Structure 1
């Protein structure tokens, strides 16, 4: 079943007219008609608005489409998502690369709707982890200064130990997500809000 038919079926199952779906999703009626008739392919944001109005996940619409079409398969999408996720490991070598590398791979593959949606979630997690790490390291530095009166004390500063722990947590989530993707589970980082 193609995307237009899937949207039409979901809309009718919910008892909505095209006009009501257009109103609820804040997408023009003409756009809804063109998508349902397969005259145009919706942009990822438009598809997300329609899915929200139908109270379903975007992936429910896309997975069905990918399994029926001869275009990229679900395993191809999953491998691209896994590449985006795993590329964040570069942040262990160069700190900001946990964001830069996934963004590069996401931009190269964002034409695929599933990869676009899940890639944003991976990048959002990495941005939040990075900001949280900076905040924690700054706080530890400040607390250490208040207690000891020095910014650095001892051979191995506490800040380095804390950063190592934060890196371990990030690597744990990356590997856990990679294993989920290898099992075919596409619901990754469910606790992370999309930042864009």
Structure 2
């Protein structure tokens, strides 16, 4: 790994955590000049110094040393298609993208940004699906009366058709945005922004 990459990574993490060089020096019990030399690429932290810096920046020494933001469009495509795992079980539509996002968000360019959008969409969609299940159970038990004739003048819309619409919406957004990722275009997922 190039020394400049390590220096840039330490500086980026320091700024992300809201530390000044002086506050990082205080947090690590290292000298201000030591932090400055490391960030300028004049010296490489080793041993105890590397341990102290990685602890203060909430990372591991290995992640600091191995860090490089790679480009991997194949992984981004996999991430974009991962919500389709909901077809096996609805919560997998959140779990699979979450695992992919957590493992690669600091290693592959675009994973952090796309992962948050996908997770926000999947959490929002799963919330609507959960509310639909509750609504359906209450309707079947006749706790609430369901009259959807406004939507269908010929009679009531079946609850199954609403469920199918929800499934198709998820599939369409996953496939369309996967194509957009493949073509390196901007993606759009309608969602409540829970992860920012």
TM norm structure 1:
0.55
Q: Tell which structure's C-alpha radius of gyration is larger.
A: 2
Residue 102 of structure 2 corresponds to residue 101 of structure 1: no
Aligned CA-pair RMSD: 4.0
| Cα 1:123–1:27 shift into 2, 3 Å | same
Q: Which residue of 1 aligns with 2:118?
A: 122
Distance 1:162 1:169 in 2: 11
What is the CA deviation profile of residues 88-112 of structure 1, one whole-angstrom value per residue up to 9, with x for unaligned ones? 1121122221112212222332332
Structure 1: which 5+ runs fail to align? 9-21, 47-69, 149-156
CA drift of 1:168 comes to 0.3
State the match for 1:86 in structure 2.
81
Asked if 1 retains the 8 angstrom alpha-carbon contact of 2:124 and 2:191, the reply is no
| 1:48-73: CA deviation from partner (whole Å, max 9, x where unpaired) | xxxxxxxxxxxxxxxxxxxxxx9623
How do 1:30-109 and structure 2 match up within 5 A? 30=21, 37=40, 72-73=70-71, 76=72, 78-109=73-104
After superposition, give the CA deviation of every residue in 1:33-87 in whole Å (9 maximum; x if it has no partner). 68963679xx9xx9xxxxxxxxxxxxxxxxxxxxxxx9623xx1x3222212212
Shift of 1:117: 3.1
Structure 2: state its 5+ residue gaps.
25-34, 46-53, 58-67, 147-156
Provide the rounded CA distance (Å) in 2 between the counterparts of 1:117 and 1:175: 18
Task: Indicate conservation of the 8 Å contact 2:121/2:189, yes or no.
Answer: yes
- In the alignment, is residue 167 of structure 1 matched against residue 192 of structure 2? no
Higher relative helix content: 1
Question: Which of the residues 123, 131, 134 maps onto 1:135?
Answer: 131
Mapped contact 2:69–2:107 kept (Cα < 8 A): no
Q: Distance in 2 between matches of 1:99 and 1:173?
A: 14
Q: Distance in 2 between matches of 1:122 and 1:34?
A: 39
Partner Cα distance (1:119, 1:33) in 2? 33
Counterparts in 2 of 1:194 and 1:117: CA distance versus 1, 3 Å: farther
Match of 2:145 among 140, 147, 152: 147
Partners of 1:158 and 1:175 in 2: CA distance: 26
For 1:159 and 1:35, the matched residues in 2 are separated by: 62
Q: CA deviation at 1:143?
A: 4.8
Helix, strand or coil for the counterpart of 1:117?
helix
For normalisation by structure 2, the TM-score amounts to 0.55
